[in-house]
Amino acid sequence: MRCVSHEEGKDKLIELHESTCGLEGPCLYRRKQRVGLYWPMMKENCDQFQEKCLECREHFERSSVCFVSIQGDWRRPYIEYIRDETLPLDVKEASVVKKKAARFFMEKNELFRRSLRCQPIRCVPEVDIEVLMKEVHQGVSGEHQGARRLYEELMRLGYYWPTMEADTLCFVRQCMPCQKFGLPKRILSDNGTPFVNKIVSNMLAQFNIIHDRSSPYYPKGNGQAKATNKSLLKILSRMVQDSPHDWSEYLPLTLWAYRTSKRGPTQATPFSLVYGADAVLLAEITVPSAWVVLEGYIEHIREADLEALKKRRDKACANHLVYQRKIIKTYDKLVSPRMFQDGDLVLKDAKHIVKGVHATKFTPKWEGPFKIKKVHSSGYCALENPSSKKQIAPINFKNYKINIVCGFSLRCPRKNGDIVRNY
């Protein structure tokens, strides 16, 4: 644009106004920009000049009846470009509007957008978005559908605005009936057969619900106790030795220490498995290490590290499997096989032993004897009372032993296929 003085600008303003007064199109200020002139008070002078002109005011009042104000509306740049061929002052924003405007068109003073099938979709102003979502979601024909279903329904009905997908998700999350009666993301239950069976598992898999199983007496048996928490507590206890009440302040440092330390099972740091390279520690900055000194060279091999990230993770997974095999081998050396068969008389742990409840000194630690009715290969036996023939709830192998009287075990002759080895 050519910079002009105030006097020359006013003369050009009068000249341009006389030739365009009463004509449809952009305002006087926008017309001045197209001519390529500029002075600091150009916008104020143009507005004041148009306000004093009676013909311009009458034309504005006639046009305002046909079109409502769109100040602050997302549709405004497209309407101004389609109707007045006016672009935003920012170059990048103008380029984006010009590219996207190819799919928009005006019809009866309303902005529409062409879909991928070239069908017209009405562009919804911001003041009508919440009302429209509320009517489709929980109105007369609404069914309190999920966010994705609501988004698809609005598109099917022929509505559009840029933040449509995010707005529908936020709207559904704020809907109390949906949150109260919606499907849970995760459920927690014990290992009882009413919850652990084929029917329940298929139903949970169908709705993508995570099923966590926990045992109140033996949580380690179903993997709920993690070694990660044990390691974090060990690090945290050393950091807060002087001030235990401030443990929350040391928790981020504990997590950082854990994530930047090489773990034995994977032979890698958790940080490197996520980002492809080890973190630069504070000590390496205080006393510059090779990574810090060769920073310019390291930037060139950063892309190669990201390409090798999958291979690094596969190697960590293989190391973890090797570590698990070593643990299993070490554990098996300390386990003595226990074999049971149908008809054996066994003693089972007393209730206070199973529940971990304190009892008196002379309280028996075993109950029975009971007769094994059936041995299951998964690690438990079905028991019954020999005298009353009443069945006892099945218990894991670790909770009972062979009943021995006078040095002899009371068990039936062994049959092929009845031997079960318990580890």
Task: Compute the distance between CA of residue 322 and CA of residue 329 in angstroms, rounded to an integer.
Answer: 11
CATH fit for domain 338-422, picks 2.30.30.140, 3.30.470.20, 1.20.58.110, 3.40.50.300? 2.30.30.140
What would the two tokens of residue 13 be?
A: 């303003």
CA dihedral 102, 108, 111, 114 (to 10 degrees): -50
Rg (CA), the chain: 38
pTM over 0.75: no
Which among 245, 188, 239 has a CA at the least distance from the CA of 212?
188
pLDDT values of the chain reduced to their tens digit, one per residue, 423 residues: 678 787 887 787 777 777 777 665 556 666 666 677 777 777 777 777 777 777 665 554 444 333 344 446 888 889 888 888 888 888 888 888 888 888 898 887 888 888 877 778 888 888 888 888 888 887 755 677 788 888 888 888 888 898 888 899 898 888 877 777 667 778 877 777 777 888 888 888 888 888 887 655 444 444 444 667 777 777 777 777 677 788 888 788 888 878 888 888 888 888 888 888 777 776 666 556 555 555 655 555 666 677 678 888 889 999 989 998 998 888 888 877 777 778 778 888 887 777 778 878 788 888 878 888 887 776 677 888 888 888 777 777 777 777 666 444 545 444 443 333 443
Other C-beta atoms within 10 Å of 273: how many?
Answer: 17
- Residue spans of the domains in the chain: they are 2-66, 76-180, 186-222, 227-329, 338-422
Q: What is the CATH number of domain 76-180?
A: 1.10.340.70
Which among 162, 157, 16, 167 has a CA at the least distance from the CA of 77?
162
Which among 146, 151, 149 has a CA at the least distance from the CA of 166?
151
Task: Compute the distance between CA of residue 129 and CA of residue 57 in angstroms, rounded to an integer.
Answer: 32
Query: Which residues, at least 6 apart from 46, have a Cβ–Cβ distance to it below 8 Å?
Result: 13, 27, 28, 29, 32
Which H helix or E strand runs over 111?
A: strand 110-114
Q: Do 313 and 273 touch, CB atoms closer than 8 A?
A: yes
